[in-house]
Amino acid sequence: MTGWPHEAVVSVAQESCPDAGLHQRLVYGDETALAEVYDTYAALVHRVAGRVTRSPSAAEDVAQEVFAHLRSLLLHSALARLPLPQRQVVHLAYFAGRTYRQAAVELGIPEGTAKTRLRAALRRLAEALAEPPDPTDPSGPTGPPGSTGPTGTALADAPGERGA
């Protein structure tokens, strides 16, 4: 049995898929696309989960997990686009539970540098998750390396800064 080459199948699927633009926006971390996906597919996901689990409460749990996983993928996609020094300090501060001061010691950098990297990373993440990317921008969805975006972007306190 012979089939189409993989590229042809992907091409046909993309051309005939009405959600191709939505898929692209998800891949680039567009948070509004996630809301559209939920609005469009929540009922379907819940119905399928209900048929598989045969339990309304289990179906609700499964549906919530599906969309939580999708949101997590968007966040990890945005994190992966950060420059390595920013990714390192975000990992230590948010995933390893360190303050920016502790992260600075672990990374062997000044506290001010750790704080600056963390703030820049949070700003870039907020921008990446809040706005759809410009597909014509050659620098990518988060801008050129080292860019921090528009001034006045509201950020939550970084770890270690509470009450500072």
- Which residue type is seen at 101? R
Q: Write out 49-84 in H/E/C secondary structure.
A: HHHHHCCHHHHHHHHHHHHHHHHHHHHHHHHHCCCH
Band the pLDDT of 71: cuts 50, 70, 90. confident
Alpha helix stretches (DSSP H) within 4-160? 6-16, 20-27, 31-53, 56-80, 84-90, 100-107, 111-130
Cβ-proximal residues to 150 (8 Å cutoff; 6+ apart), any chain: none
- Which residue type is seen at 87? R
Least confident of 6-10, 43-47, 58-62, 123-127: 6-10
What pLDDT is attached to residue 78? 85
Rounded CA separation 11/69 (Å): 26
- Which residue type is seen at 76? H
- Which residue type is seen at 81? R
Other beta carbons within 10 Å of 25? 20
Other beta carbons within 10 Å of 141? 20
Band the pLDDT of 132: cuts 50, 70, 90. low
Cβ-proximal residues to 11 (8 Å cutoff; 6+ apart), any chain: none
Residue that wins the pLDDT comparison between 74 and 79: 79
* Coil vs helix vs strand at 99: coil
What pLDDT is attached to residue 136? 52
Residue 14 above 70 pLDDT? no
- Which residue type is seen at 136? T
What pLDDT is attached to residue 126? 84
